[in-house]
């Protein structure tokens, strides 16, 4: 069965990508790239990324079960399967289409529902996130859609770097975007500082019982987010002139740069502390080494003594690492605060609710336990510009009324876009 290719200015197209290695073989890959951007570095999806065709030719066809199959072929005789869609559902009349958004889909032409795909490339991203593609979890299928870098600039096989949404479903921790080099975290992004309240940007975060994902829904944009082979996360935009934003962008983007119970701020540098500061109520553990973070100025007050606890507001901060968090349903911010105050181990809380760009199944209360880690001041005008961070304070211990130093609080009111 012949496969037809789309060729429109803003669409993407299938291609055979020749890779030269040692001057002996042309390695062939089945991939997708923007039709009007010809550089190999703008390839956005590769089917056989670790199984290059190194013989004379390849063949793309649909087998008798309705799957799209890529064969290697030598001298028009011996064929070997290199890659397949491997769909569990069989189509009565299989049809393969490359959609305008770059999604390669397999469906049944006899099905009146044209969006009922048996298989789609958007469910299996490589190094690039395109508008309309979901980055995150389909909990019903147990499918984790994340980005993984190329091994090198001319080898699309899996490299060392990955970027995706991580959370513990059993422990009910709050999701966050994590970039890893192998197993080590090198960059973290809070979901609240990666999305926008502006309808023009189209970024959304969806969190419910079935799915947890991050998506750019403005399908009219020619853009992508790509995990580079050197670990850079690049946001590319071709709406007018080419625009590129690179993450990590500064020292504060380095995971845990200032240690626990601290914040990092590249816009306010002091001679004594540099870019690292302890949170209110904490002091630096080691004056020579910020990586050890900060510890409490005072011993905690007695548990459940709510009159000795208060919360202080900070603005424009990235929320702490949610690895030791707990998602709990609350009707309002006061109820969420009360849950933290009545839990002796609670160090922080946040409260958010569904907006046009933050789609959650219900209002969400997030509680933090233990040290607060990887907090930074976000760039001026960037994400979290309207994110309210509160840190409880403690008065002078000589005063009669003492306030227990306990928690960091985040209340989401409105968000502004910045990928870093």
DSSP track, 333-355:
HHHHHHHHHT-TTEEEEEEE---
174/112 same-domain check? no
**Per-residue pLDDT reduced to its tens digit, 156-214:** 999 999 999 999 988 899 899 999 999 999 999 876 554 443 344 567 888 888 999 98
Q: What percent of the chain has pLDDT over 90?
A: 31
Q: What percent of the chain has pLDDT over 70?
A: 70
Q: Average pLDDT for residues 69-78, to the nearest whole number?
A: 77
Q: Specify if 274 maps to a domain.
A: no
106/134 same-domain check? no
Write the CATH number for 342: 3.50.4
Q: At a CB cut-off of 8 Å and minimum separation 6, what does 262 contact?
A: 276, 277, 278, 279, 282, 284, 290, 293, 294, 375
Q: Specify if 268 maps to a domain.
A: no
**Which of 211, 227, 249 corresponds to the end of one domain?**
249
Q: Specify if 257 maps to a domain.
A: no
SS3 assignment, position 218? coil
Question: Does residue 26 have a pLDDT over 60?
Answer: no
More confident residue, 22 or 169: 169
- Give CA–CA dist 283/299, Å, rounded: 12
Specify whether the CB–CB gap between 29 and 21 falls below 8 A.
Answer: no
Q: Specify if 81 maps to a domain.
A: yes
More confident residue, 1 or 129: 129
Question: Does residue 391 have a pLDDT over 50?
Answer: no
- Give CA–CA dist 329/364, Å, rounded: 5
Q: Specify if 293 maps to a domain.
A: no
More confident residue, 299 or 354: 299
Q: Specify if 273 maps to a domain.
A: no
Kindly indicate the confidence band of residue 23, based on its pLDDT and cuts at 50, 70 and 90: very low
pLDDT of residue 39: 53
**Which of 234, 249, 264 corresponds to the end of one domain?**
249
109/167 same-domain check? no
156/184 same-domain check? yes
More confident residue, 102 or 78: 102
**Which of 124, 155, 181 corresponds to the end of one domain?**
124
Q: Specify if 386 maps to a domain.
A: yes
Model-wide pTM > 0.75: yes
C-alpha torsion angle, residues 59, 64, 68, 69 (rounded to 10): -40
96/139 same-domain check? no
- Give CA–CA dist 83/71, Å, rounded: 7
Range with the poorest average pLDDT among 94-98, 308-312, 367-371, 393-397:
393-397
140/110 same-domain check? no
73/151 same-domain check? no
SS3 assignment, position 192? helix
Full domain range(s) for residue 134: 125-249
Kindly indicate the confidence band of residue 379, based on its pLDDT and cuts at 50, 70 and 90: confident
Question: Does residue 140 have a pLDDT over 70?
Answer: yes
Write the CATH number for 212: 2.90.10
Range with the poorest average pLDDT among 20-29, 105-114, 256-265:
20-29
Q: Specify if 255 maps to a domain.
A: no
pLDDT mean across residues, the chain = 76
Kindly indicate the confidence band of residue 227, based on its pLDDT and cuts at 50, 70 and 90: very high
Question: Does residue 92 have a pLDDT over 80?
Answer: yes
Kindly indicate the confidence band of residue 300, based on its pLDDT and cuts at 50, 70 and 90: low
46/62 same-domain check? yes
Q: Average pLDDT for residues 323-340, to the nearest whole number?
A: 87
**Per-residue pLDDT reduced to its tens digit, 316-331:** 788 899 999 999 888 8
CA-CA-CA-CA torsion sign (162, 163, 167, 173): positive
Of the chain, the end-to-end C-alpha distance in Å amounts to 45
* Number of structural domains the chain divides into: 3
105/218 same-domain check? no
4/119 same-domain check? yes
319/380 same-domain check? yes
116/129 same-domain check? no
- Give CA–CA dist 218/201, Å, rounded: 7
């Amino acid at each position: 069965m012949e496969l037809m290719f789309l060729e429109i200015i803003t669409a993407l197209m299938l291609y055979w990508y020749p890779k030269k290695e040692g001057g002996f073989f042309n390695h062939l890959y089945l991939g997708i790239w923007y039709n009007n951007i010809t550089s190999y570095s703008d390839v956005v999806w590769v089917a056989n990324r670790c199984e290059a065709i190194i013989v004379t030719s390849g063949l793309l066809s649909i087998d008798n079960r309705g799957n799209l199959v890529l064969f290697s072929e030598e001298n028009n005789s011996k064929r070997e399967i290199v890659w397949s869609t491997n769909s569990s559902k069989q189509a009565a009349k299989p049809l393969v289409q490359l959609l305008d958004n770059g999604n390669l889909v397999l469906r049944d032409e006899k099905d009146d529902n044209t969006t009922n795909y048996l298989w789609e490339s958007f469910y299996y991203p490589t190094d690039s996130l395109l508008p309309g593609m979901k980055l995150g979890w389909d909990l019903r299928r147990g499918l984790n859609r994340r980005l993984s870098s190329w091994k090198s600039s001319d080898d699309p096989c899996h490299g060392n770097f990955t970027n995706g949404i991580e959370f513990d479903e059993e422990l009910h921790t709050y999701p966050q975007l994590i970039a890893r080099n192998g197993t080590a975290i090198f960059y973290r992004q809070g979901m609240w500082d990666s999305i926008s309240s502006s309808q023009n940007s189209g970024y959304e975060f969806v969190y419910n019982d079935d799915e947890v994902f991050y998506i750019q829904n403005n399908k009219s944009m020619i853009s992508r987010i790509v995990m580079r082979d050197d670990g850079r996360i690049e946001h590319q935009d071709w709406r007018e002139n080419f625009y590129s934003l690179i993450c990590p962008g500064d020292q504060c983007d380095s995971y845990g740069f200032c240690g626990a119970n601290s914040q990092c701020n590249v816009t306010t540098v002091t001679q004594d502390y540099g870019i690292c500061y302890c949170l209110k109520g904490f002091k630096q553990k080691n004056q020579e080494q910020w990586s050890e973070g900060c510890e409490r100025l005072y011993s905690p007050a007695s548990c459940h003594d709510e009159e000795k606890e208060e919360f202080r507001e900070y603005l424009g901060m990235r929320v702490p690492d949610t690895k030791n968090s707990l998602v709990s349903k609350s009707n309002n911010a006061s109820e969420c605060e009360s849950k933290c105050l009545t839990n002796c181990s609670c160090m922080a809380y946040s409260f958010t609710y569904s907006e046009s760009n933050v789609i959650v199944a219900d209002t969400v209360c997030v509680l933090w336990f233990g040290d607060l880690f990887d907090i930074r001041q976000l760039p001026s005008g960037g994400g979290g510009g309207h994110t309210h961070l509160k840190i409880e304070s403690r008065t002078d211990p000589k005063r009669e009324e003492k306030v227990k130093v306990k928690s960091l609080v985040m209340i989401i009111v409105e968000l502004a876009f910045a990928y870093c």
